[in-house]
Structure 1
Amino acid sequence: MRLALSMKGDSTSHFLFVGQGDEVELVQNFIQEKALNNATYLPPISQEDFKKLLHEVDVGLFSLSRDHKAHNFPGKLLGYMVNKIPILGSVNPGNDLLDIILQHDAGFAFENGQDEQLLQSARLLASNLETRKRLGENARRLLVEHFSVESAAKKIVDHLSNHRQLLI
């Protein structure tokens, strides 16, 4: 929400918040109180509609609470990767998702609270189609290489092959 507020004067970007959760009322109130004409909240939609929506999105945004103590991998990231959408997000301190996104050049991620870095990355993504395409391609590659059924099966088979003596 702070990012949407920071980009309020940017006519090229619009933030779409979709879904349900503990913070829906907070999101709705923030949009109204700050008169954000660059942000819209929509109630939950079906998985089918979500897949259609992803074809209209230029950047996949996510934000994890700074107060989370555990690693978290939002399911929406898989949808972003499938559709070659660059990722922009903030994570809780110590979350390995930050390193995964950055090491694979699949987008930009920062610890929640690093608002200036997030803003600069959002502006870059909003203004640079080539960067969005490159990061989106890399996001798709990350999915195929590390999160696909095929890559999981290969890791299991490799692990079992390397530890065959444990199975006897």
Structure 2
Amino acid sequence: MKIALIADTFPPLRTSGAVQLRDLSREFARQGHQLTVLLPSAELDGRWQLETLDGVRILRLRAPRTKDIGYVRRTIGEFLMPFSMLRNLRKSPLAHEQWDGVAWYAPSIFHGPLASSLKRSSKCKGYLIIRDIFPEWAVDMGLMGRGLPYRFFAAVARYQYSIADVVGVQTPGNLSYFDSWSRQPGRRIEVLQNWLADAPVGHCSIRLDDSVLAGRKVFVYAGNMGIAQGMTIMLDLAEQLRARTDVGFLFVGRGSDAKTLAADAAARGLDNVLFHDEIHPDEIPGLYAQCSVGLVALDPRHKSHNIPGKFLTYMQSGLPVLANINAGNDLANIIRQEQVGFVCENNSLDTLQQLAMTLLQALDGEEPFKERCRALYARLFSPETAVSQIVAALNGGQRK
């Protein structure tokens, strides 16, 4: 099939979304499909830039800046983004391209106008890959009320949903949110698990054997450290375990809370904690090979279900997890049923500490954590499964 994939993140960005979309695009090409990724770029001098990477065409289209800026400017930039992309697409060599299917990745929620235009001109189906339900999660977190900004974002999200023929959500728990949407003729909702391509263990710029954590069992967190994660409890845990000279904590990444957390750790005098800036995604397997446990953190105020990309990287590397997440999240059932770690759902430091001690004890035993983690990754989280599922949905003929 000839497929257009719309997104707002892709390498050289190092976000989990960028890595996911890189792996997905490579798998589309490996399965013999002709994929073109359409991306906004604020750095282009011209209107467009066309390149080929790993058998995939990548068309970068000039659009307003939407990253690392204030909320108001970001909202304006994201609102204008699809219109700028569409205008510059019409000036590119792919202006008159016909597609067999259109897929787009949310976040962002603002891709609807571009997806609609491509679907209409090619008379093809559209697949929305939705990884978080915004603005609902922002309301859950107390970042937004249900006033005018919420109503604006909700209207944008509803328009995006209306464009899709099939919506793929992360977990079964998110299916109910789309109940009324899926009752309309020609629409279908399904679970599309997150995915991550297998990767070899290679070089890593972080060498724990040359750090204060040398010789310790290391709990590692690699990823965004922001409001949505609620990371403070992990520092509290590190403080509770500071007497354990065989245990350490490593936090790698960026985010709105990263500097605050590092300063907090220094103020507490935690000599069992190390912070490091984000590293290239290809270095992650080499990092995890030096660690014992992967940390997962989601703010307990979340009400939706979420399987963070970092959980997939832990499973891929055979690392059991210690998770502190919102109650009722589908991820808790996966961790318990698959026996790949321990999970706290009440945001209690005492509970989390008890689980950490139990996990440390299990690591000293003969629990086959690595085998179970790898088996779970291979069964649920491979790009092969995701691509086959998207293609099957798009291959159902023209939209009525």
Q: Distance in 1 between matches of 2:353 and 2:366?
A: 15
Is it true that 1:48 corresponds to 2:282 in the alignment?
A: yes
Letter in 2 for 1:79: T
Q: Distance in 2 between matches of 1:136 and 1:2?
A: 27
- The residue correspondences of 1:59-78 to structure 2 (distance < 5 A) are 59-78=293-312
How many Å apart are 1:83 and its aligned residue? 1.2
How many Å apart are 1:31 and its aligned residue? 0.5
Letter in 2 for 1:56: Q
SS in 1 for 2:251: strand
Is it true that 1:91 corresponds to 2:328 in the alignment?
A: no
**Contact in 1 for aligned 2:325/2:347 (Cα 8 Å):** no
Tell me whether 6-15 or 117-126 shows the greater mean CA deviation: 117-126
TM-score, structure 2 as length reference: 0.37
Q: 1:132 to 1:25 in 2, by over 3 A?
A: farther
Q: Report what 2:374 is aligned to.
A: 140
Q: 1:58 to 1:132 in 2, by over 3 A?
A: farther
SS in 2 for 1:56: coil
Tell me whether 129-138 or 107-116 shows the greater mean CA deviation: 129-138
Is it true that 1:81 corresponds to 2:315 in the alignment?
A: yes
Q: Report what 2:257 is aligned to.
A: 23
Q: Distance in 2 between matches of 1:112 and 1:86?
A: 20
Q: Distance in 1 between matches of 2:282 and 2:381?
A: 21
Structure 2: segments with no counterpart, 5+ residues? 1-234
Q: Report what 1:36 is aligned to.
A: 270
What is the RMSD of the two structures over their aligned residues, measured on CA atoms?
A: 2.4
**Contact in 2 for aligned 1:15/1:40 (Cα 8 Å):** yes
Match of 1:3 among 209, 224, 237: 237
Q: Distance in 1 between matches of 2:279 and 2:346?
A: 26
SS in 2 for 1:11: coil
- CA shift digits 1:13-42 (9 cap, x unpaired): 100001011211221122111111111111
Tell me whether 130-139 or 24-33 shows the greater mean CA deviation: 130-139
Which structure carries more helix by proportion? 1
Structure 1: segments with no counterpart, 5+ residues? none
TM-score, structure 1 as length reference: 0.83
**Contact in 2 for aligned 1:86/1:132 (Cα 8 Å):** no
Letter in 1 for 2:348: Q
Aligned residue pair count: 160
Q: Report what 1:123 is aligned to.
A: 357
- CA shift digits 1:39-62 (9 cap, x unpaired): 111111111222210110111112
Letter in 2 for 1:74: P
Q: Distance in 2 between matches of 1:132 and 1:112?
A: 29
Q: Distance in 1 between matches of 2:299 and 2:313?
A: 21
Q: Report what 1:102 is aligned to.
A: 336
Letter in 1 for 2:373: A
SS in 2 for 1:89: strand
Tell me whether 28-37 or 142-151 shows the greater mean CA deviation: 142-151
Q: 1:132 to 1:144 in 2, by over 3 A?
A: farther
> Which one has more relative contact order, counting CA pairs under 8 Å at least 6 apart?
1
Q: Distance in 1 between matches of 2:366 and 2:271?
A: 24
Q: Distance in 1 between matches of 2:366 and 2:263?
A: 31
Letter in 2 for 1:66: P
SS in 1 for 2:263: helix
How many Å apart are 1:153 and its aligned residue? 6.4
SS in 2 for 1:14: strand
Q: 1:11 to 1:127 in 2, by over 3 A?
A: farther
Q: 1:68 to 1:131 in 2, by over 3 A?
A: farther
Tell me whether 98-107 or 123-132 shows the greater mean CA deviation: 123-132
Rg bigger for which structure?
Answer: 2
How many Å apart are 1:130 and its aligned residue? 5.0
How many Å apart are 1:151 and its aligned residue? 4.6
